[in-house]
Structure 1
Amino acid sequence: MKGAIFVELVSMAENAFGEDVVDDVLDKADLDNGGAFTTVGNYPCSELVKIVMAFSEHSGISPEVLQRMFGHWMLDHFVENYAEFFEGKTDSFSLLEAVDGEIHVEVKKLYPEAELPVFAAERLSDNHLSLTYSSPRPLVEFCHGMIEASLKRYGETAEIGRCPVAHQENATNFDIRLKR
Structure 2
Amino acid sequence: MKGIVFTEFLDLVEDKFGLETVDKIITESQLDSGGIYTSVGTYSFSEMLQLLQSLSKHTSVSIDNLLLVYGEHFFSIIETSYPGLLATYKDPIEMLSSIENHIHIEVRKIYPDAELPTFIVEKKDEKSLTMLYKSSRAMHHFGLGLMNKTFEHFNATATIALHKINEDGTEVRFVINKN
User: TM-score under structure 2 normalisation?
Assistant: 0.91
Matches within 5 A, 1:44-123: 44-123=44-123
What is the CA distance between 1:31 and its match in structure 2? 2.1
- Kindly indicate whether the alpha-carbon contact (under 8 Å) linking 1:96 and 1:121 is maintained by their aligned counterparts in 2: no
Deviates more, 1:94-103 or 1:121-130: 121-130
Whole-Å Cα distance in 1 between the matches of residues 108 and 25 of structure 2? 33
**Structure 2: tracts of 5 or more residues without a match:** none
Deviates more, 1:106-115 or 1:79-88: 106-115
Give the whole-Å Cα distance in 2 for the aligned partners of 1:157 and 1:48: 30
**CA RMSD, Structure 1 to Structure 2 (Å):** 1.8
Q: Quick one: percent identity of the two aligned structures?
A: 29
1:164 deviates by 2.4
C-alpha distance 110-56 of structure 1, shift in aligned 2 (>3 A): same
Q: Which residue of 1 aligns with 2:13?
A: 13
| 1:153 aligned residue | 153
Compared with structure 1, are the counterparts of its residues 124 and 138 closer, same or farther at alpha carbon in structure 2 (3 Å cutoff)? closer
What secondary structure sits across from 1:40 in the alignment?
Answer: coil
2-side partners of 1:86 and 1:121: how far apart? 19
| Residues 27-42 of structure 1 mapped to structure 2, 5 A cutoff | 27-42=27-42
Q: What are the Cα deviations for residues 17-40 of structure 1, in whole angstroms up to 9, with x where unaligned?
A: 122221122112232222111112
Under a length normalisation based on structure 1, what TM-score does the superposition of the two structures give?
0.91
Cα deviation for residue 121 of structure 1 reads 2.5
Give yes or no for contact 2:138–2:168 (8 Å, CA) kept in 1: no
Name the residue aligned to 1:172: 172
